[in-house]
Amino acid sequence: MRVRDRNQRGAAAVEFALIAPLFFVLVFGTIQFGWYMWTAEYTNSAARETARRVVVGDCWADYAAFSSKQGSRVTATTVSPNPATLKVGDPIVVTVTADADLNIDFFGFGLPTTVTRTYDARMEVDAQALAVDDSCKA
């Protein structure tokens, strides 16, 4: 019996050394991909909410600040064309860009460092029908 016990010493350490790299790749890869997906989701939400505010006339002048409040990593927001020049039913495109860089590329998965989402909408009000209040109320 003693000879068999002696032969098993260190087997757990060897097994751990074989399995640990795969385990850590899975764990840290999941963290890195999850961070990217979280950033993509709130960027999409920021674009949708900013577009909703713009088309109803709530937020024509300060849409970039409003969009930045939707997520701390939002870096740029554009509205094309200028909402003040449009009429009811005209198309409008809101583009929001956010920083998705985790600042730690665990295994070089090559995920993009920025996320850009666009949202297409149609104007619901125009400048003649609305006394423009650009305060972007929350």
Condensed to tens digits (0 to 9), the pLDDT of residues 11-45 reads: 888 999 999 999 998 888 888 888 889 999 999 99
How many whole angstroms separate alpha carbon 134 and alpha carbon 85? 15
Nearest to 118, CA basis, from 33, 44, 23: 44
What is the percent of the chain with per-residue pLDDT over 90, rounded to a whole number? 31
Least confident stretch, 27-31, 48-52, 87-91, 106-110? 106-110
Helices (H), the chain: 2-7, 11-55, 63-70
Q: List beta partners, residue 77.
A: 96
Between the alpha carbon of residue 88 and those of residues 81, 117, 122, the distances in Å are 13, 24, 7
Condensed to tens digits (0 to 9), the pLDDT of residues 54-78 reads: 888 777 778 888 888 888 889 999 9
Residue 46 near residue 71 (C-beta atoms within 8 A) = yes
CA torsion, ordered 102, 104, 109, 112, to nearest 10 deg: 30
How many whole angstroms separate alpha carbon 125 and alpha carbon 68? 24
How many whole angstroms separate alpha carbon 128 and alpha carbon 86? 10
